[in-house]
Amino acid sequence: MFSKSKINEPGPKKVGEPETTKPEAAVQKTTSEFKPPPPKAKPPASVLSSDLTITGNLKTTGDIQVEGVIDGDIRAHLLTVGEGATIRGEVVADDVVVNGRVIGRVRGLKVRLTSTARVEGDIIHKTIAIESGAHFEGSVQRQDDPLSTGIATTSSAPTPITAAVKPA
């Protein structure tokens, strides 16, 4: 009824062909050399469209692109605030790019305000870039770990700034 498969059995040896190992040894060798699977592809950013209004907090380890209105806090890896977007609440992300409006505190390792940005609130950052034309009202404070909610790691007090940067 069942017959033994000859797939794994060595065939006749050819002249000049090196000696092969037994199939059992080959199986043991491949199982001892474990290779982890390749890393998963990073999913695309979640886009919150311009006709969307959310009341409540958002939290993700991924990326968010906001084009609508958010009344609540946002925590993400990368947060991009679109030109027509408005966020009323605290923003916490590794990278924050503001093209639109944020009313509330911004905390990020890297914070970038583009020329169309309007921020009304304090910014706590490790690095910051403010383009010409951006509007910002609040204070700026540099910290080594701005994502933590603890006490500042730098000894300097926040620098209050009220500015509208005009192109030259």
Percent helix, strand, coil in the chain, to 5, is 5, 40, 50
Decide if 101 is inside a domain.
yes
| Average pLDDT of every residue of the chain | 82
Q: What are the angstrom distances between the C-alpha of 81 and each of 62, 99, 158?
A: 15, 5, 24
- Is residue 41, in this structure, part of any structural domain at all? no
Domain-embedded: residue 54: yes
Domain count, the chain: 1
Per residue in 71-91, pLDDT tens? 999 999 999 999 999 999 999
| Residue 34: partners with Cβ closer than 8 Å, 6 or more residues away | none
Q: Is residue 134 part of a domain?
A: yes
Residue 78 in any domain: the answer is yes
Q: Give me the pLDDT at residue 37, please.
A: 74
Q: Does some domain include residue 57?
A: yes
* Per-residue pLDDT tens digits for 79-135: 999 999 999 999 999 999 999 999 999 999 999 999 999 999 999 999 999 999 999
Domain with 62 in it: 46-146+159-164
**Is there a domain that residue 106 lies in?**
yes
The b-or-e profile of 29-57 (16+ CB within 10 A means b, else e) is eeeeeeeeeeeeeeeebeebeeeeeeeee
Task: Confirm whether 23 is domain-assigned.
Answer: no
Percent of the chain with pLDDT over 90: 60
In this prediction, residue 148 has a pLDDT band, given cuts at 50, 70 and 90, of: confident
- Give me the pLDDT at residue 8, please: 60
